[in-house]
Amino acid sequence: MWRVPRQLCVRVARGGKLSGPRHRPAAFMSTLLINQAQYAWLKELGLREENEGVYNGSWGGRGEVITTYCPANNEPIARVRQASVADYEETVKKAREAWKVWAEVPAPKRGEVVRQIGDALREKIQILGNLVSLEMGKILVEGVGEVQEYVDVCDYAVGLSRMIGGPILPSERPGHALIEQWNPVGLVGIITAFNFPVAVYGWNNAIAMICGNVCLWKGAPTTSLISVAVTKIIAKVLEDNKLPGAICSLTCGGADIGTAMAKDERVNLLSFTGSTQVGRQVALMVQERFGRSLLELGGNNAIIAFEDADLSLVVPSVLFAAVGTAGQRCTTARRLFLHESIHDEVVNRLKKAYAQIRVGNPWDSDVLYGPLHTKQAVSMFLAAVEDAKKEGGTVVYGGKVMDRPGNYVEPTVVTGLAHNASIAHTETFAPILYVFKFKNEEEVFAWNNEVKQGLSSSIFTKDLGRIFRWLGPKGSDCGIVNVNIPTSGAEIGGAFGGEKHTGGGRESGSDAWKQYMRRSTC
Three-state secondary-structure class, residue 232:
helix
Cα separations (Å) of 24 from 13, 29, 48? 11, 7, 14
Q: 272: closest CA among 333, 329, 324, 218?
A: 218
Strand boundaries in 439-516, DSSP class E: 453-454, 456-460, 480-483, 495-496, 499-500, 507-508
> How far is the C-alpha of 427 from the C-alpha of 64, rounded, in Å?
31
CB 242 within 8 A of CB 94: no
Rounded-to-10 torsion of CA 117, 118, 119, 122: 120
Three-state secondary-structure class, residue 328:
coil
CB 310 within 8 A of CB 321: no
**Which entry of 50, 296, 427, 441 is annotated as an active-site residue?**
296
Residues 6+ apart with CB under 8 A from 169: 177, 178, 179, 180
| Residue 296 bears catalytic tag | yes
Neighbour-count burial for 63-73, b at 16+ CB within 10 Å, e otherwise: bbbbbbbbbbb
Q: Which residues are catalytic?
A: 296
